Protein backbone atom coordinates (compact mmCIF):
# COMPACT_ATOMS: atom_id res chain seq x y z
CA UNK A 1 0.00 0.00 0.00
CA UNK A 2 1.09 3.58 -0.71
CA UNK A 3 0.07 5.83 2.21
CA UNK A 4 -1.35 9.13 0.99
CA UNK A 5 0.82 12.10 1.88
CA UNK A 6 -0.38 15.49 3.10
CA UNK A 7 -3.65 14.34 4.69
CA UNK A 8 -2.66 13.81 8.33
CA UNK A 9 -5.51 14.74 10.71
CA UNK A 10 -7.71 15.88 7.80
CA UNK A 11 -11.23 14.58 7.22
CA UNK A 12 -11.41 13.15 3.72
CA UNK A 13 -14.61 11.85 2.12
CA UNK A 14 -14.60 8.88 -0.28
CA UNK A 15 -17.43 8.34 -2.77
CA UNK A 16 -17.77 4.83 -4.23
CA UNK A 17 -16.74 1.78 -2.24
CA UNK A 18 -15.78 -0.77 -4.86
CA UNK A 19 -12.22 -2.08 -5.25
CA UNK A 20 -10.78 1.37 -5.98
CA UNK A 21 -12.73 3.15 -3.25
CA UNK A 22 -11.93 0.76 -0.43
CA UNK A 23 -8.23 0.73 -1.37
CA UNK A 24 -8.26 4.53 -1.44
CA UNK A 25 -9.90 4.70 1.99
CA UNK A 26 -7.22 2.38 3.41
CA UNK A 27 -4.38 4.41 1.87
CA UNK A 28 -5.87 7.65 3.23
CA UNK A 29 -6.17 6.15 6.70
CA UNK A 30 -2.55 4.93 6.47
CA UNK A 31 -1.59 8.54 5.78
CA UNK A 32 -3.31 9.72 8.94
CA UNK A 33 -6.61 10.95 7.48
CA UNK A 34 -9.99 10.60 9.14
CA UNK A 35 -12.01 8.87 6.42
CA UNK A 36 -15.76 9.12 5.91
CA UNK A 37 -17.35 7.26 3.04
CA UNK A 38 -20.54 6.88 1.01
CA UNK A 39 -21.85 4.60 -1.71
CA UNK A 40 -25.28 4.54 -3.35
CA UNK A 41 -25.62 0.78 -2.81
CA UNK A 42 -27.07 -0.44 0.49
CA UNK A 43 -25.20 -3.75 0.36
CA UNK A 44 -21.93 -2.04 -0.54
CA UNK A 45 -22.26 0.38 2.36
CA UNK A 46 -23.03 -2.47 4.75
CA UNK A 47 -20.00 -4.43 3.58
CA UNK A 48 -17.74 -1.39 3.97
CA UNK A 49 -19.09 -0.76 7.46
CA UNK A 50 -18.15 -4.28 8.53
CA UNK A 51 -14.59 -3.45 7.43
CA UNK A 52 -14.54 -0.53 9.85
CA UNK A 53 -15.26 2.33 7.46
CA UNK A 54 -17.27 5.23 8.84
CA UNK A 55 -20.33 5.65 6.61
CA UNK A 56 -21.88 9.12 6.30
CA UNK A 57 -24.72 10.11 3.98
CA UNK A 58 -22.96 12.73 1.86
CA UNK A 59 -26.22 13.76 0.22
CA UNK A 60 -26.95 15.63 3.47
CA UNK A 61 -25.35 19.05 3.99
CA UNK A 62 -24.74 18.49 7.70
CA UNK A 63 -22.33 15.64 7.02
CA UNK A 64 -19.89 17.84 5.10
CA UNK A 65 -18.79 19.71 8.22
CA UNK A 66 -14.97 19.67 8.36
CA UNK A 67 -14.48 17.68 5.13
CA UNK A 68 -11.42 18.99 3.28
CA UNK A 69 -11.56 16.87 0.08
CA UNK A 70 -13.75 14.39 -1.79
CA UNK A 71 -12.08 11.38 -3.47
CA UNK A 72 -14.20 9.80 -6.22
CA UNK A 73 -14.09 6.34 -7.78
CA UNK A 74 -13.51 6.49 -11.56
CA UNK A 75 -16.86 5.02 -12.62
CA UNK A 76 -18.87 7.86 -11.07
CA UNK A 77 -19.70 10.78 -13.45
CA UNK A 78 -18.34 14.10 -12.25
CA UNK A 79 -19.49 16.34 -15.13
CA UNK A 80 -21.25 14.62 -18.06
CA UNK A 81 -23.93 13.56 -18.67
CA UNK A 82 -24.46 15.10 -15.22
CA UNK A 83 -22.43 15.17 -12.04
CA UNK A 84 -23.35 12.74 -9.30
CA UNK A 85 -25.32 14.65 -6.61
CA UNK A 86 -22.55 14.18 -4.02
CA UNK A 87 -19.93 15.56 -6.42
CA UNK A 88 -22.23 18.45 -7.34
CA UNK A 89 -22.55 19.18 -3.62
CA UNK A 90 -18.75 19.29 -3.25
CA UNK A 91 -18.55 21.75 -6.14
CA UNK A 92 -21.15 23.97 -4.48
CA UNK A 93 -19.25 23.91 -1.19
CA UNK A 94 -15.89 24.61 -2.84
CA UNK A 95 -14.42 21.30 -1.67
CA UNK A 96 -11.65 19.88 -3.91
CA UNK A 97 -12.55 16.72 -5.85
CA UNK A 98 -9.83 14.22 -6.75
CA UNK A 99 -9.34 10.50 -7.43
CA UNK A 100 -6.87 7.78 -6.50
CA UNK A 101 -4.64 8.60 -9.48
CA UNK A 102 -4.15 12.14 -8.24
CA UNK A 103 -3.38 10.85 -4.75
CA UNK A 104 -0.87 8.36 -6.16
CA UNK A 105 1.13 10.96 -8.07
CA UNK A 106 1.40 13.23 -5.05
CA UNK A 107 2.33 10.36 -2.70
CA UNK A 108 4.56 7.95 -4.66
CA UNK A 109 7.85 9.78 -4.15
CA UNK A 110 9.16 9.64 -0.56
CA UNK A 111 12.23 10.71 1.39
CA UNK A 112 13.55 7.15 1.04
CA UNK A 113 14.31 7.91 -2.59
CA UNK A 114 17.19 10.16 -1.49
CA UNK A 115 19.14 7.02 -0.59
CA UNK A 116 18.49 5.17 -3.87
CA UNK A 117 21.19 4.74 -6.51
CA UNK A 118 18.57 5.11 -9.25
CA UNK A 119 15.32 7.02 -8.76
CA UNK A 120 12.10 5.08 -9.42
CA UNK A 121 10.13 6.09 -12.50
CA UNK A 122 6.52 5.99 -13.65
CA UNK A 123 5.35 5.07 -17.15
CA UNK A 124 1.66 5.91 -17.72
CA UNK A 125 -0.26 4.60 -20.74
CA UNK A 126 -3.53 5.98 -22.10
CA UNK A 127 -5.46 5.82 -25.38
CA UNK A 128 -8.62 4.25 -26.77
CA UNK A 129 -7.39 0.80 -27.81
CA UNK A 130 -4.37 -1.27 -26.94
CA UNK A 131 -3.46 0.40 -23.67
CA UNK A 132 -3.86 -2.78 -21.59
CA UNK A 133 -1.67 -4.83 -23.92
CA UNK A 134 0.87 -2.00 -24.15
CA UNK A 135 0.98 -1.65 -20.37
CA UNK A 136 1.37 -5.41 -19.83
CA UNK A 137 4.01 -5.63 -22.56
CA UNK A 138 6.09 -2.83 -21.02
CA UNK A 139 5.85 -4.52 -17.62
CA UNK A 140 6.82 -7.88 -19.14
CA UNK A 141 9.85 -6.42 -20.93
CA UNK A 142 11.07 -4.65 -17.78
CA UNK A 143 10.82 -7.85 -15.75
CA UNK A 144 12.49 -9.95 -18.44
CA UNK A 145 15.34 -7.41 -18.54
CA UNK A 146 15.83 -7.54 -14.78
CA UNK A 147 14.36 -4.14 -13.95
CA UNK A 148 12.10 -4.19 -10.87
CA UNK A 149 8.58 -3.24 -11.94
CA UNK A 150 5.00 -3.06 -10.73
CA UNK A 151 1.88 -2.78 -12.87
CA UNK A 152 -1.46 -1.22 -11.91
CA UNK A 153 -4.12 1.39 -12.49
CA UNK A 154 -6.90 0.37 -14.84
CA UNK A 155 -5.31 -3.07 -15.13
CA UNK A 156 -4.61 -5.43 -12.25
CA UNK A 157 -3.81 -3.66 -8.99
CA UNK A 158 -5.26 -0.29 -7.99
CA UNK A 159 -2.55 2.35 -7.87
CA UNK A 160 -2.71 2.91 -4.12
CA UNK A 161 -2.49 -0.86 -3.53
CA UNK A 162 0.95 -0.96 -5.18
CA UNK A 163 3.92 -1.32 -2.87
CA UNK A 164 6.21 1.64 -2.08
CA UNK A 165 8.94 1.89 -4.70
CA UNK A 166 12.32 0.24 -4.36
CA UNK A 167 15.63 1.37 -5.85
CA UNK A 168 15.37 1.72 -9.64
CA UNK A 169 11.82 0.39 -9.88
CA UNK A 170 9.46 1.33 -12.71
CA UNK A 171 5.72 1.57 -12.04
CA UNK A 172 3.72 0.95 -15.23
CA UNK A 173 0.17 2.32 -15.11
CA UNK A 174 -2.75 1.95 -17.48
CA UNK A 175 -4.95 5.04 -17.15
CA UNK A 176 -8.43 5.38 -18.62
CA UNK A 177 -10.04 8.66 -19.60
CA UNK A 178 -12.19 8.38 -16.46
CA UNK A 179 -9.00 8.39 -14.39
CA UNK A 180 -7.05 11.10 -16.21
CA UNK A 181 -10.04 13.44 -16.47
CA UNK A 182 -10.32 14.16 -12.74
CA UNK A 183 -6.84 13.57 -11.27
CA UNK A 184 -5.42 16.77 -9.76
CA UNK A 185 -1.84 15.52 -10.14
CA UNK A 186 -0.52 13.75 -13.25
CA UNK A 187 3.28 13.62 -13.33
CA UNK A 188 4.59 10.48 -15.05
CA UNK A 189 8.19 10.31 -16.23
CA UNK A 190 7.10 8.71 -19.50
CA UNK A 191 3.56 9.17 -20.88
CA UNK A 192 2.18 7.04 -23.73
CA UNK A 193 -0.76 7.87 -26.04
CA UNK A 194 -1.63 4.85 -28.19
CA UNK A 195 -4.47 6.10 -30.41
CA UNK A 196 -7.93 7.67 -30.34
CA UNK A 197 -11.31 6.44 -31.53
CA UNK A 198 -14.81 7.44 -30.35
CA UNK A 199 -15.71 5.90 -26.98
CA UNK A 200 -17.34 6.99 -23.71
CA UNK A 201 -18.72 10.04 -25.51
CA UNK A 202 -21.66 10.52 -23.14
CA UNK A 203 -19.27 10.59 -20.18
CA UNK A 204 -17.08 13.28 -21.75
CA UNK A 205 -19.64 15.39 -23.58
CA UNK A 206 -18.41 14.35 -27.04
CA UNK A 207 -15.21 13.40 -28.84
CA UNK A 208 -13.48 16.69 -27.97
CA UNK A 209 -14.06 16.15 -24.27
CA UNK A 210 -12.87 12.55 -24.54
CA UNK A 211 -9.62 13.64 -26.20
CA UNK A 212 -9.19 16.47 -23.68
CA UNK A 213 -9.35 13.91 -20.86
CA UNK A 214 -6.55 11.89 -22.50
CA UNK A 215 -4.52 15.01 -23.24
CA UNK A 216 -4.41 15.95 -19.54
CA UNK A 217 -1.82 13.21 -18.94
CA UNK A 218 0.61 15.19 -21.09
CA UNK A 219 -0.46 18.75 -20.36
CA UNK A 220 -0.76 18.73 -16.55
CA UNK A 221 2.66 17.54 -15.45
CA UNK A 222 4.87 17.57 -18.51
CA UNK A 223 6.50 14.11 -18.76
CA UNK A 224 10.22 13.84 -19.50
CA UNK A 225 9.36 11.72 -22.54
CA UNK A 226 6.08 11.46 -24.46
CA UNK A 227 5.36 8.48 -26.72
CA UNK A 228 2.62 9.54 -29.15
CA UNK A 229 0.71 7.48 -31.70
CA UNK A 230 0.35 9.70 -34.76
CA UNK A 231 -1.95 7.61 -36.95
CA UNK A 232 -4.91 9.88 -36.10
CA UNK A 233 -5.16 13.69 -36.27
CA UNK A 234 -5.44 13.96 -32.49
CA UNK A 235 -2.09 12.25 -32.02
CA UNK A 236 -0.47 14.45 -34.64
CA UNK A 237 -1.88 17.51 -32.89
CA UNK A 238 -0.66 16.32 -29.49
CA UNK A 239 2.84 15.56 -30.75
CA UNK A 240 2.97 18.97 -32.42
CA UNK A 241 1.94 20.72 -29.22
CA UNK A 242 4.52 18.93 -27.08
CA UNK A 243 7.56 19.14 -29.37
CA UNK A 244 9.55 22.34 -29.74
CA UNK A 245 10.42 21.35 -33.31
CA UNK A 246 11.58 18.42 -35.49
CA UNK A 247 14.82 18.09 -33.50
CA UNK A 248 13.06 17.70 -30.13
CA UNK A 249 13.58 14.06 -29.09
CA UNK A 250 11.48 14.37 -25.95
CA UNK A 251 8.59 13.28 -28.17
CA UNK A 252 8.80 9.78 -29.67
CA UNK A 253 6.29 9.41 -32.51
CA UNK A 254 4.94 5.94 -33.23
CA UNK A 255 2.88 4.48 -36.09
CA UNK A 256 1.44 1.14 -37.15
CA UNK A 257 1.58 1.76 -40.88
CA UNK A 258 3.55 4.78 -42.02
CA UNK A 259 7.27 5.41 -42.20
CA UNK A 260 8.37 8.09 -39.74
CA UNK A 261 11.89 9.28 -40.45
CA UNK A 262 11.54 13.06 -40.34
CA UNK A 263 11.37 13.46 -36.56
CA UNK A 264 14.22 13.32 -34.05
CA UNK A 265 12.98 10.00 -32.63
CA UNK A 266 10.36 7.67 -34.05
CA UNK A 267 9.29 4.02 -33.94
CA UNK A 268 7.01 2.50 -36.58
CA UNK A 269 5.89 -0.87 -37.92
CA UNK A 270 5.41 -1.71 -41.60
CA UNK A 271 4.78 -5.13 -43.14
CA UNK A 272 5.52 -6.80 -39.82
CA UNK A 273 8.83 -5.08 -39.09
CA UNK A 274 9.38 -2.58 -36.29
CA UNK A 275 11.93 0.15 -37.02
CA UNK A 276 13.47 2.75 -34.74
CA UNK A 277 14.79 5.95 -36.29
CA UNK A 278 16.84 8.61 -34.50
CA UNK A 279 17.92 11.82 -36.21
CA UNK A 280 16.96 10.43 -39.60
CA UNK A 281 18.93 7.21 -39.32
CA UNK A 282 17.72 3.70 -38.54
CA UNK A 283 18.84 2.60 -35.07
CA UNK A 284 17.16 -0.80 -34.80
CA UNK A 285 14.79 -3.25 -36.51
CA UNK A 286 12.69 -6.13 -35.12
CA UNK A 287 10.73 -8.79 -37.03
CA UNK A 288 7.32 -8.99 -35.33
CA UNK A 289 5.70 -11.48 -37.69
CA UNK A 290 6.40 -14.66 -35.71
CA UNK A 291 5.61 -13.22 -32.29
CA UNK A 292 2.42 -15.11 -31.44
CA UNK A 293 1.54 -12.87 -28.52
CA UNK A 294 1.42 -9.84 -30.85
CA UNK A 295 -0.66 -10.73 -33.94
CA UNK A 296 -1.88 -8.09 -36.39
CA UNK A 297 -1.19 -4.44 -37.13
CA UNK A 298 -2.95 -3.25 -33.97
CA UNK A 299 -0.60 -5.32 -31.81
CA UNK A 300 2.33 -4.06 -33.87
CA UNK A 301 1.27 -0.57 -32.83
CA UNK A 302 1.22 -1.76 -29.21
CA UNK A 303 4.70 -3.18 -29.73
CA UNK A 304 5.93 0.17 -31.07
CA UNK A 305 4.52 2.00 -28.05
CA UNK A 306 6.01 -0.48 -25.59
CA UNK A 307 9.36 -0.50 -27.39
CA UNK A 308 9.54 3.30 -27.32
CA UNK A 309 8.63 3.48 -23.62
CA UNK A 310 11.25 0.88 -22.74
CA UNK A 311 13.88 2.69 -24.80
CA UNK A 312 12.95 5.88 -22.94
CA UNK A 313 13.93 4.25 -19.64
CA UNK A 314 17.24 3.00 -20.99
CA UNK A 315 16.69 -0.54 -22.27
CA UNK A 316 18.61 -1.74 -25.33
CA UNK A 317 16.88 -2.83 -28.56
CA UNK A 318 18.06 -6.45 -28.38
CA UNK A 319 16.92 -6.76 -24.76
CA UNK A 320 13.46 -5.58 -25.77
CA UNK A 321 13.32 -7.88 -28.80
CA UNK A 322 14.19 -10.95 -26.71
CA UNK A 323 11.47 -10.09 -24.20
CA UNK A 324 8.88 -9.60 -26.96
CA UNK A 325 9.31 -13.24 -27.99
CA UNK A 326 8.21 -14.51 -24.58
CA UNK A 327 5.14 -12.28 -24.29
CA UNK A 328 2.04 -14.47 -24.30
CA UNK A 329 -0.53 -11.70 -24.69
CA UNK A 330 -3.41 -10.81 -22.39
CA UNK A 331 -6.61 -12.77 -21.85
CA UNK A 332 -9.48 -11.52 -24.03
CA UNK A 333 -7.16 -9.45 -26.25
CA UNK A 334 -6.17 -11.34 -29.42
CA UNK A 335 -5.61 -14.35 -27.16
CA UNK A 336 -4.93 -17.58 -29.03
CA UNK A 337 -6.95 -20.15 -27.07
CA UNK A 338 -6.26 -23.28 -29.10
CA UNK A 339 -5.37 -24.73 -32.49
CA UNK A 340 -7.52 -27.71 -33.39
CA UNK A 341 -7.22 -29.51 -36.72
CA UNK A 342 -5.45 -26.55 -38.30
CA UNK A 343 -8.08 -24.08 -37.05
CA UNK A 344 -6.99 -21.26 -34.75
CA UNK A 345 -9.38 -20.02 -32.04
CA UNK A 346 -8.83 -16.42 -30.90
CA UNK A 347 -10.52 -14.67 -27.98
CA UNK A 348 -10.71 -10.90 -28.50
CA UNK A 349 -13.71 -10.29 -26.23
CA UNK A 350 -12.20 -6.90 -25.30
CA UNK A 351 -13.02 -5.71 -28.84
CA UNK A 352 -16.16 -4.01 -27.57
CA UNK A 353 -16.22 -1.21 -30.16
CA UNK A 354 -16.01 -0.98 -33.94
CA UNK A 355 -12.43 0.30 -34.04
CA UNK A 356 -11.09 -2.56 -31.91
CA UNK A 357 -13.06 -5.11 -33.95
CA UNK A 358 -11.69 -3.65 -37.18
CA UNK A 359 -8.13 -4.16 -35.96
CA UNK A 360 -8.90 -7.76 -35.02
CA UNK A 361 -10.48 -8.44 -38.42
CA UNK A 362 -7.33 -7.23 -40.15
CA UNK A 363 -5.05 -9.53 -38.15
CA UNK A 364 -6.04 -12.87 -39.75
CA UNK A 365 -6.62 -14.02 -43.37
CA UNK A 366 -9.68 -16.36 -43.21
CA UNK A 367 -12.06 -15.59 -40.38
CA UNK A 368 -15.16 -17.17 -38.96
CA UNK A 369 -16.30 -14.19 -36.98
CA UNK A 370 -18.36 -14.37 -33.78
CA UNK A 371 -19.86 -10.92 -33.20
CA UNK A 372 -22.73 -9.25 -31.41
CA UNK A 373 -23.96 -8.40 -27.96
CA UNK A 374 -25.30 -5.03 -26.91
CA UNK A 375 -24.48 -2.88 -29.94
CA UNK A 376 -23.22 0.66 -29.63
CA UNK A 377 -24.40 3.80 -31.42
CA UNK A 378 -23.72 3.57 -35.15
CA UNK A 379 -23.82 -0.23 -35.28
CA UNK A 380 -21.13 -1.97 -37.35
CA UNK A 381 -21.56 -0.21 -40.70
CA UNK A 382 -18.03 1.20 -40.39
CA UNK A 383 -16.65 -2.35 -40.50
CA UNK A 384 -17.67 -2.85 -44.16
CA UNK A 385 -14.13 -2.20 -45.53
CA UNK A 386 -12.71 -4.85 -43.18
CA UNK A 387 -15.00 -7.78 -43.95
CA UNK A 388 -13.06 -9.13 -46.93
CA UNK A 389 -11.40 -11.84 -44.86
CA UNK A 390 -14.62 -12.95 -43.16
CA UNK A 391 -15.73 -16.33 -44.52
CA UNK A 392 -18.87 -16.22 -42.37
CA UNK A 393 -20.24 -14.31 -39.38
CA UNK A 394 -22.02 -15.95 -36.43
CA UNK A 395 -24.11 -13.34 -34.66
CA UNK A 396 -25.11 -13.44 -31.01
CA UNK A 397 -26.96 -11.40 -28.44
CA UNK A 398 -29.33 -8.45 -28.43
CA UNK A 399 -28.01 -6.79 -31.59
CA UNK A 400 -27.57 -9.92 -33.72
CA UNK A 401 -30.32 -9.08 -36.21
CA UNK A 402 -29.34 -5.42 -36.39
CA UNK A 403 -25.77 -6.46 -37.18
CA UNK A 404 -27.05 -8.86 -39.86
CA UNK A 405 -28.61 -5.95 -41.75
CA UNK A 406 -25.21 -4.23 -41.97
CA UNK A 407 -23.11 -7.14 -43.27
CA UNK A 408 -23.83 -6.62 -46.97
CA UNK A 409 -22.79 -9.70 -48.96
CA UNK A 410 -20.93 -11.35 -46.07
CA UNK A 411 -22.47 -14.76 -45.26
CA UNK A 412 -23.90 -14.99 -41.76
CA UNK A 413 -26.23 -16.83 -39.46
CA UNK A 414 -27.95 -15.66 -36.28
CA UNK A 415 -26.67 -18.05 -33.63
CA UNK A 416 -28.17 -16.18 -30.65
CA UNK A 417 -25.86 -17.66 -27.98
CA UNK A 418 -22.13 -18.22 -27.62
CA UNK A 419 -22.69 -21.98 -27.34
CA UNK A 420 -24.38 -22.11 -30.72
CA UNK A 421 -21.92 -19.75 -32.36
CA UNK A 422 -18.84 -21.72 -31.28
CA UNK A 423 -20.45 -25.04 -32.21
CA UNK A 424 -21.47 -23.84 -35.68
CA UNK A 425 -18.15 -22.10 -36.39
CA UNK A 426 -16.17 -25.16 -35.28
CA UNK A 427 -18.33 -27.49 -37.40
CA UNK A 428 -17.83 -25.39 -40.55
CA UNK A 429 -14.21 -24.27 -40.08
CA UNK A 430 -11.52 -25.60 -42.40
CA UNK A 431 -7.74 -25.80 -41.87
CA UNK A 432 -6.26 -22.32 -42.14
CA UNK A 433 -9.38 -20.64 -40.75
CA UNK A 434 -9.44 -18.53 -37.58
CA UNK A 435 -12.53 -18.62 -35.37
CA UNK A 436 -12.43 -15.11 -33.96
CA UNK A 437 -14.50 -13.69 -31.11
CA UNK A 438 -14.39 -9.91 -31.71
CA UNK A 439 -17.90 -8.79 -30.72
CA UNK A 440 -17.86 -5.07 -31.67
CA UNK A 441 -20.43 -4.69 -28.89
CA UNK A 442 -20.79 -4.52 -25.15
CA UNK A 443 -21.47 -7.73 -23.23
CA UNK A 444 -24.17 -6.63 -20.80
CA UNK A 445 -27.10 -8.28 -22.58
CA UNK A 446 -25.77 -11.78 -21.82
CA UNK A 447 -22.71 -11.37 -19.56
CA UNK A 448 -21.75 -9.09 -16.64
CA UNK A 449 -18.56 -7.98 -18.43
CA UNK A 450 -16.33 -8.73 -21.41
CA UNK A 451 -14.12 -10.99 -19.25
CA UNK A 452 -17.00 -13.37 -18.51
CA UNK A 453 -17.91 -13.39 -22.20
CA UNK A 454 -14.34 -14.29 -23.12
CA UNK A 455 -14.17 -16.96 -20.43
CA UNK A 456 -17.33 -18.55 -21.83
CA UNK A 457 -15.75 -18.64 -25.31
CA UNK A 458 -12.58 -20.22 -23.89
CA UNK A 459 -14.62 -22.82 -21.97
CA UNK A 460 -16.52 -23.81 -25.09
CA UNK A 461 -13.38 -24.01 -27.23
CA UNK A 462 -11.59 -26.13 -24.65
CA UNK A 463 -14.55 -28.54 -24.69
CA UNK A 464 -14.33 -29.09 -28.47
CA UNK A 465 -13.15 -32.52 -29.70
CA UNK A 466 -9.39 -32.55 -30.19
CA UNK A 467 -8.73 -29.61 -27.89
Using an 8 Å Cβ cutoff, are 445 and 398 in contact? yes
Using an 8 Å Cβ cutoff, are 133 and 329 in contact? yes
Alpha helices in 295-342 (DSSP H): 296-312, 317-325
Strands of 67-72's sheet in order across: 54-55, 34-38, 11-15, 67-72, 97-98
In eight-state DSSP terms, residue 35 is: E
Q: Which residues are annotated as a binding site for ATP?
A: 127-133
Using an 8 Å Cβ cutoff, are 278 and 252 in contact? no
Q: Which residues are annotated as a binding site?
A: 127-133
Using an 8 Å Cβ cutoff, are 49 and 41 in contact? no
DSSP per residue, 45-85: HHHHHHTT-EE--TTSGGGGTTEEEEEE-TTS-SSSS---H
Q: With 0-12 CB in 10 A as exposed, 13-18 as middle and 19+ as buried, what is 207?
A: middle
Cα separations (Å) of 65 from 36, 52, 55, 68? Answer: 11, 21, 14, 9
Q: With 0-12 CB in 10 A as exposed, 13-18 as middle and 19+ as buried, what is 108?
A: buried
Dist. CA 177–CA 234, nearest whole Å: 15
DSSP per residue, 412-451: EEEEESHHHHHHHHHHH--TT-EEEE--SSBSTTTSSSHH
Dist. CA 308–CA 226, nearest whole Å: 9
Dist. CA 313–CA 306, nearest whole Å: 11
DSSP per residue, 141-159: HHHHTT--EEEEESSSB-G
Using an 8 Å Cβ cutoff, are 378 and 354 in contact? yes
Residue 101: enclosing H or E segment and its boundaries? Answer: helix 100-107
Amino acid sequence: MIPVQGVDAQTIAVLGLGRSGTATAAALAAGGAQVVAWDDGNDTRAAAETQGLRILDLTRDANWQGVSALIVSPGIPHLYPRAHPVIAKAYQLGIPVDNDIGLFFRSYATEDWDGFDRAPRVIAVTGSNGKSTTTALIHHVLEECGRPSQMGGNIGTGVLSLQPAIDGEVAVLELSSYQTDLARALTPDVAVFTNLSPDHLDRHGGLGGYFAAKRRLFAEGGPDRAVIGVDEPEGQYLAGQLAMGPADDRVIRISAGQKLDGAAWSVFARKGFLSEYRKGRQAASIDLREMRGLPGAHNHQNACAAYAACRAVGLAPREIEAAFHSFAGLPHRSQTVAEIGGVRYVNDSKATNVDAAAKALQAFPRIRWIAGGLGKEGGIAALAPHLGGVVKAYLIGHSARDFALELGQTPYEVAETMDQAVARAAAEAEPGDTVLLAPAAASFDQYPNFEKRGEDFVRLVEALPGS
